[in-house]
């Protein structure tokens, strides 16, 4: 059975409150679909782009990027530092970038998550291996944020 391919929808509109939450350097739990239909999760770095898409990046060869190449549907849960506030997103990959730009993206993410400076060994590793960047169009948003 072939997985359903998403049809483009109107992108979800992010409220200022949700945008402010997503702009924090929090970790995201990413869910993709394995070839056999089983769910796959990974904890990742992300960045909210100015156009309200989510940018994520991975080393080539990992399972979840392979899943996204085959099936662009994705779900993310971004968890606040207290563990109780979170935002859930559903969407689909609408752009894939590799090469030099994807290495620049992971370096930018490293600085986002380590504002005092990422470890030099990590930076060297990011530069040494092929990377891939995905941009995710957000189709749905639900939140568990305090008013």
CATH fit for domain 16-144, picks 2.30.110.10, 2.40.50.140, 3.40.190.10, 3.40.50.970:
2.30.110.10
What's the whole-number mean pLDDT along residues 27-56? 97
The order of strands in the sheet holding 73-79 is 39-44, 28-33, 73-79, 86-98, 131-144, 54-59, 47-48
pLDDT at residue 135 is higher than 50:
yes
| Segments making up each domain of the chain, as ranges | 16-144
pLDDT tens string 60-84: 999 999 999 999 999 999 999 999 9
At residue 84, φ and ψ (nearest 5 deg) are: -105, -30
pTM score over 0.75: yes
């Amino acid at each position: 059975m072939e997985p359903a391919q998403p049809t483009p929808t109107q992108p979800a509109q992010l409220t200022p409150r949700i945008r402010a939450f997503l702009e924090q350097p929090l970790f995201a739990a990413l869910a993709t679909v394995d070839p056999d239909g089983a769910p796959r999760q990974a904890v990742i770095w992300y960045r909210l782009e100015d156009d309200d898409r989510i940018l994520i990046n991975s080393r080539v060869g990992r399972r979840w990027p392979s899943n996204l190449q085959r099936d662009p549907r994705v779900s993310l849960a971004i968890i606040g530092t207290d563990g109780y506030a979170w935002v859930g997103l559903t969407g689909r990959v609408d752009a894939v970038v590799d090469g030099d730009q994807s290495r620049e993206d992971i370096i930018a993410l490293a600085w986002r998550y380590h504002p005092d400076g990422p470890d030099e060994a990590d930076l060297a590793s990011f530069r040494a291996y092929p990377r891939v960047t995905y941009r995710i169009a957000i189709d749905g948003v639900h939140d568990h944020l305090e008013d």
